[in-house]
Amino acid sequence: RRLPSGGSTTLIRRPPDGSDMENDRGSLTPRDAENQKKEVQLRVFPPEMKFLDTVAGKVYRLPITVHNLGRWSQRIRFQEPIKPQFKLLVSTLDRALASGLQMTAIVEYHPDKNENINDQLYITIGNKTLEIPIFGLIPVCKLDIDSEVNFGTLVANSKVYCKEITIVNHGKAPGTFNTEYQGQLPIIISPTSGIVAPESSTVIKVDFCADQPRIVNEKANVILQGRADLLLTICAHVVEQIIELLSKTSDKKLECIDFGSVFFGTSKIEHALLHNYSPEPMNWVAIMQDDSVGQELGTDIHQRTDIALNNLTHVRKMKTMDSTTFISCVPNEGSLQPYEKMLITFCFSPKLIADVKKKIDPSHRQDYAVFLRFETVGSKDRFSTDDNYKTTKSDRFKKVELALTGSGIPVLLQFEPGKILNFSPCVVGEHSELACIIKNQSKSLPVTYNFKKSAHFKIDPEKGKIDEGCIQNVLCSFIPHQIGVFKVKQVIELLGLVADENRQSALMKPFYHVYLEFNSICKPSIKNDRMKITPGMLFSIKGTGQFVIKDLDTYKESAPIAMLQSNKTSLHTHQSNQWSRKDELIALPNDRSGSIRPGDHRKHFRTIFTKTPRYNYVDPDYAYNELEKMRNEIHDNYYTMYIKHLRSVRLKQEKESRESMYPYNDTDIGLQPASGLKSPSPSETDIEEDLSSPDGLTPADELLSTSHITSKEKQSLRRRVHKELKSEPSTPEEKDHCSTILSPKQIHQVIVGPSVLNFGNICVNSTSDHPLHIVNMLPIHIVIHLDADLEELRKTNQFSYVIPPISSTYISIIFESATIGKFWKSFTFTVNNVPGGHILVMAVVRPVKLELSSDQLILRPQGFLMKTCFQGTIRLYNRQNCSAKFEWQPVNTERGIAFCIRPAHGTVEAYSSLECEVKWQPSFNAPEKGEFILHVLEGNTLTLKCVAHVIISLERSFYFESYRLVGYTYVCIITYI
């Protein structure tokens, strides 16, 4: 029995009747009968012997093992192979092998030629023979390759993706491979053929350009030496790079956000989700489309047409306003990871732009409708040529448009009986009231009000909310606390949601103020209560004016109590008066409460009569000690001097600035106003210095607009850079600018395009150039670096360029390839070392080729001269970008060569043609047919067939003279049909 390779061969012999020997152990049969029934089992390993990777002149050995699995001893006989290259190394060819034992023999192979040889080794057991095949094999290749290349999920952005697969040679001989893809998709396999060294591997690159959405499942033929043809499966799932806006609540696509009606001065905030629905990260930027169709800026759509036409000046003024001042988007730039969602905040803050000729009324309603576009950042063409109708379907998914609508309405409050309220006069302790009605004339929004507190007046309720079209009754009260005439401007705050500086949240703040005028008088109250006073103490009481002494004259002549007046005696005048200070104050008799409280230690008091220092109580628990008083005084002096110093510095700077701005202001040079003197125009150097300031970059919170980008682009295109550009920044200013890290919004203002460099059909080993347009709309220098690590673009002069601010230029990309076939590769570029996008390079590389105007030329006679009778022309066309060298080779026939062509060799320039002349030399044995072979150097080969058909006819020509036959002439004419 023969087993597969790697197993063993077992020979089993059983009794003829098939009975089991175990059951016959105790039988009384003769001994010979029992021997015939003995079981024969033999295992041979290996079942076949292969000498692999053998070379002539060397010796190879392999062991073979024979194992007796039977229960009795067996005699084994070996028979050597027939061919002399094989030799059996064993002590004896005939040997008995006991049960359970094994023996090993050696087979030796010494090849004399590098060729495959096979033979057999025979092992005999009794009357059974086992055949063991023996093979001597020369080294061969064993090539192996993966059967699938899976690119996974890709984005349709015209980027070339590369996957590598490995062909492994496990053998000890080199092997060849060939790959071929015959499909129509942009798939390139390189190299298409090659040799894999023994026990090594070769990497094959599979390039795939994701140009449009599709499901790729292509097959490529792979031919490996020593194996059957394989099919290489190329799989990919190409999807659109979709950017979309979703509702925050329902995750549905969002096309419009309606802010509704908003009071001027307030804000309304809405949110949306920006979704990157693609498997690759992307940078995005928001752009306000302020030149789109359907935009409305501050137009009252409810207004009649005749009224709008009557106010065209105001309408034009509204059209020129910047839409980014009342619409904000935060954030307006950023990066999104695959399938990531980002919260976007939109803020609508309308501002009242009123016509000064009209009073604020409901007609000042201003309706807005603007369009905001979100798009990805990358390589692109010019903005001014951007047209949604010309863009491809794939490009439309890379941008999404959102409509924003809203209305700004003024605050309209009506007060009855008016804004001037005159309260009836009253005295202290009394009050007067007026009822006021506040009406909210707005029919779309409620009003929240708050009366500011003011002295002597009280409003009930002080705060509240008036619904749209409703009224609020307010009770205004005049409660005076002192006498006088009162004219108070009462402030009414209108509260609303006002956005903060970040435009991401809004707080309830006053956004509008209304002023009411309150007028009233508080009269003094006159009472008859007499005040008992002591004559001689004449003083007036400064108070509320409630008690005024009216009957002092009755006490001037006589007093009920005799009392000495202090100004007519010196009884109480003490000697200490001579040291009295000038800054001392006189204490009144009734200021006892002031004398028992801690006062200012710098003030001194004396009594009114005795002029003695008044007692001043100092509480030691609360009063400053001397050290603390000194420290406070030093502190006050320090800040006083500091403020005086700041004021002196400010005045000095203002004086110097005035002198520098108007150095000759005091000199009269006799110029009259508007006399024709014009200001000098700024030079180009001044403009460049102004533009080169990094501060001119767009702020992070400011939205880009299409009109702003278009104007910047036109300005940059006018400043064309013709001189050679630097590859690296050299000046300190350029180094500072080029080290600036740009945001996606700033990179979006740098145009590097076109995004596809299509060189078309070009010849192998020929150069072709294509311009790459670069526009820098930023006010700083930038450095553009092309990461074009491609062998085909190695002849490009440089790959790094320093672009001046607000300028544009063209650079030349040179392509040359030594490989025939389609070329699809992409490379990335950076702006100030920040990734900016990628550019696709396409070409079809073809061999040098010439075309014939016709592959067969038939010669016609052109006259009667034999040398020029038969001649014609053939034209060679070169429709490619490289000059082609050619040579004509005539084909010799049995009758010789009768045709000649001039020029026999030469050059046809690119995109031109050359005319060649063919002649036939007639003779007795000249062949009428001939051929020329056109050999193009490193190009194609063509064949031109030439034919000359000849017919001889005899014609007679007669002429008469004087009506007599003079003679005749036989003329032989050779004519071509």
> 90 pLDDT band (50/70/90 cuts)?
confident
pLDDT value for 597: 59
The number of distinct structural domains making up the chain is 7
**277 and 223 assigned to the same domain:** no
The predicted model scores a pTM of: 0.67
CA 748 – CA 697 distance, rounded (Å): 13
* Cα torsion angle, 80, 84, 88, 93, sign: positive
> Is position 866 within any domain?
yes
**221 and 257 assigned to the same domain:** no
**176 and 302 assigned to the same domain:** no
pLDDT value for 307: 55
**337 and 251 assigned to the same domain:** yes
> Is position 75 within any domain?
yes
Say if CB 450 and CB 463 are below 8 A apart: yes
> Is position 36 within any domain?
no
Residues 808-819 pLDDT 10s: 999 999 999 988
**282 and 218 assigned to the same domain:** no
DSSP secondary structure letter of residue 377 = -
Query: Hey, which residues does 368 pair with through a beta bridge?
Result: 297, 406
Highest mean pLDDT among 183-192, 520-529, 669-678: 183-192
Range from 1-5, 81-85, 119-123, 712-716 carrying the lowest mean pLDDT: 1-5
pLDDT value for 358: 53
CA 278 – CA 338 distance, rounded (Å): 6
pLDDT value for 649: 93
Q: What is the CATH number of the domain that holds 235?
A: 2.60.40.10
CA 132 – CA 27 distance, rounded (Å): 38
> Is position 532 within any domain?
no
CA 278 – CA 339 distance, rounded (Å): 6
**258 and 270 assigned to the same domain:** yes
Say if CB 59 and CB 110 are below 8 A apart: yes
* Percent of the chain whose pLDDT exceeds 90: 44
Taking CA atoms, 598 is separated from 593, 606, 628, 689, in Å, by: 11, 16, 16, 67
**728 and 831 assigned to the same domain:** yes
**257 and 362 assigned to the same domain:** yes
CA 234 – CA 423 distance, rounded (Å): 93
Boundary-marking domain end, from 199, 219, 239 = 239
> Is position 761 within any domain?
yes
Q: Please give the single-letter amino acid code of residue 494.
A: L
DSSP strands (E only) in 471-600: 471-478, 484-499, 506-523, 585-587
Higher pLDDT, 111 or 956: 111
pLDDT of residue 149 exceeding 80: yes
Average pLDDT, stretch 893-908?
88
Say if CB 391 and CB 376 are below 8 A apart: no
> 257 pLDDT band (50/70/90 cuts)?
very high
CA 369 – CA 351 distance, rounded (Å): 15
pLDDT value for 421: 92
CA 850 – CA 882 distance, rounded (Å): 11
Boundary-marking domain end, from 817, 846, 875 = 846
CA 929 – CA 946 distance, rounded (Å): 6
> 640 pLDDT band (50/70/90 cuts)?
very high
> 528 pLDDT band (50/70/90 cuts)?
low
Boundary-marking domain end, from 136, 151, 186 = 136
pLDDT of residue 611 exceeding 60: yes
For 381, the token pair is: 């063409």
Taking CA atoms, 389 is separated from 197, 395, 396, in Å, by: 55, 11, 10
**160 and 127 assigned to the same domain:** no
DSSP labels for 281-349?
A: -EEEEEEEETT-TT-EEEE-TTS-HHHHHTTHHHHHHHHTS-GGGTEEEES-EEEE-TT-EEEEEEEE-
Query: Helix, strand, or coil here: 907?
Result: strand
Cβ neighbours for 884, distance < 8 A, ≥ 6 positions apart: 848, 849, 850, 878, 907, 908, 936, 937, 939
Expressed as residue numbers, the domain containing 258 is 243-378+392-409
> Is position 518 within any domain?
yes
Pairing of strands 951-961, 964-975: antiparallel
pLDDT of residue 906 exceeding 80: yes
> Is position 948 within any domain?
yes
Residues 200-218 pLDDT 10s: 999 999 999 998 899 999 9
pLDDT value for 31: 44
> Is position 287 within any domain?
yes
Say if CB 319 and CB 291 are below 8 A apart: no
**56 and 124 assigned to the same domain:** yes
* Percent of the chain whose pLDDT exceeds 70: 75
CA 337 – CA 247 distance, rounded (Å): 19
**489 and 517 assigned to the same domain:** yes
Residues 12-29 pLDDT 10s: 444 444 444 343 333 333
Calculate the average pLDDT of the chain: 80
Q: Which of 919, 933, 920, 946 is nearest to 856 (CA)?
A: 946
**316 and 295 assigned to the same domain:** yes
Q: CA-based angle 961:962:965, to the nearest 5? A: 55
